[in-house]
Amino acid sequence: MLAVIGGTGIYEIVEMGDEVEKKIIKTPYGDSPEVSVFQLHQKEAVFMPRHSKGHAKPPHIVNYRANIWALKKLGVERIIATNAVGSLFESIKPGDFLIPHDFIDFTRMRKGTFYDDKTVHIDVTEPYCHELRDILISSGEVVGEGVYVCTEGPRFETKAEVEMFQKLGGTVVGMTGLPEAVLARELEMCYASVCTVSNFAASISPNKLTIDEVFEILEEKKEDLIKLIYNSILKIPSKSDCQCMNTLDGAEVESSWEREDL
Ligand code: HPA
């Protein structure tokens, strides 16, 4: 099964399918937001509003563990996430779509792992599923790939932070991409993101950043984003050609009594 994690305003993807069933999933981390399970061209899919109903939870409060656990419990194998971002460069403009191939994590207070009771170090050399990324890149007009910088938020960035992110190799900056991508990988699900550039990052834009500006662009690009995701879903093969489902092979530190060499 495939899931779409929606940021703001792309619930309409559900209306392109049928047999919608709404559910709230119980997890060890709390209840999930209400998700919609639907059929799209004989494929079962689920839509999850990341911020819950009415954008109730800001990015730093979203219960990422409950969200990803709930999708795993529903039988989801692949996730297409949507994220709003600010652009760190003038060449990437509001309204553009970008498919990140890597990230830099500047979040600070979020629960970022499912493995608190045992030691698991997953490989994230390539943190986004290459197969899903290729499908997204070929399914609509995207500017290409880039490095997603995730901040804790909820405030926007300072000028010095934007300059630092540029120097570090970031392309876009957002608040919702992590730890979501890592948690999906920890549960061996394929995960890729479509970033909608909603603004130039603070200080690149000459004006004060406002939420109205962000939401206006997201609303404008909503239809194209839904089309891009819809086209991608149609292209996804039933068997995947990636290693996401083998993430835990060789990732767990054995307890010392299980190791023959100790
Ligand atoms: N910074 C951080 N998060 C964002 C931005 C931004 O400029 N735009 C949309 N989400």
Residue 127 Cβ < 6 Å to ligand 1: no
Residue 85 Cβ < 6 Å to ligand 1: yes
Residue 148 Cβ < 6 Å to ligand 1: no
Task: Say which CATH number the domain at 45 has.
Answer: 3.40.50.1580
C-alpha distances in angstroms, 66 versus 27, 32, 47, 50, 198?
Answer: 6, 6, 15, 10, 27
Instruction: Identify each DSSP E strand in the chain by its residue range.
Output: 2-6, 18-23, 26-27, 30-31, 35-40, 43-49, 78-87, 97-106, 144-151, 172-174, 190-200
Q: What integer pLDDT is reported at residue 205 of this predicted model?
A: 81
In-domain check, residue 262:
no
Identify the domain containing residue 107 by its residue range: 2-255
In-domain check, residue 178:
yes
In-domain check, residue 153:
yes
Task: Give the distance (Å) from ligand 1 centre to CA of residue 247.
Answer: 30
Q: What integer pLDDT is reported at residue 257 of this predicted model?
A: 67
Residue 175 Cβ < 6 Å to ligand 1: yes
Q: What integer pLDDT is reported at residue 52 of this predicted model?
A: 83
- Where the chain has pLDDT below 50, the residues are none
In-domain check, residue 132:
yes
Q: What integer pLDDT is reported at residue 232 of this predicted model?
A: 94
In-domain check, residue 260:
no
In-domain check, residue 45:
yes
Average pLDDT in the chain:
93
The percentage of residues in the chain with a pLDDT greater than 90, rounded to a whole number, is 81
Q: What integer pLDDT is reported at residue 239 of this predicted model?
A: 86
Q: What integer pLDDT is reported at residue 196 of this predicted model?
A: 96
Ligand 1 atom with the smallest distance to the CA of 201 is 7
Task: Give the distance (Å) from ligand 1 centre to CA of residue 116.
Answer: 30
Residue 94 Cβ < 6 Å to ligand 1: no
Domain count of the fold of the chain: 1
Cα-only R_g, the chain: 18
pTM of the entire predicted model: 0.95
Residue nearest to atom 9 of ligand 1 (CA): 85
Choose among 37, 35, 31: nearest CA to 66. Answer: 31
Structure tokens at 88: 């760190």
In-domain check, residue 261:
no
In-domain check, residue 200:
yes
Whether residue 178 contacts residue 103, with contact meaning beta carbons closer than 8 Å, is answered with yes
pLDDT digits (tens, 9 = 90+) for 158-196: 999 999 999 999 999 999 999 999 999 999 999 999 999
Q: What integer pLDDT is reported at residue 8 of this predicted model?
A: 63
Report the C-alpha gap between 58 and 43 in whole angstroms: 31
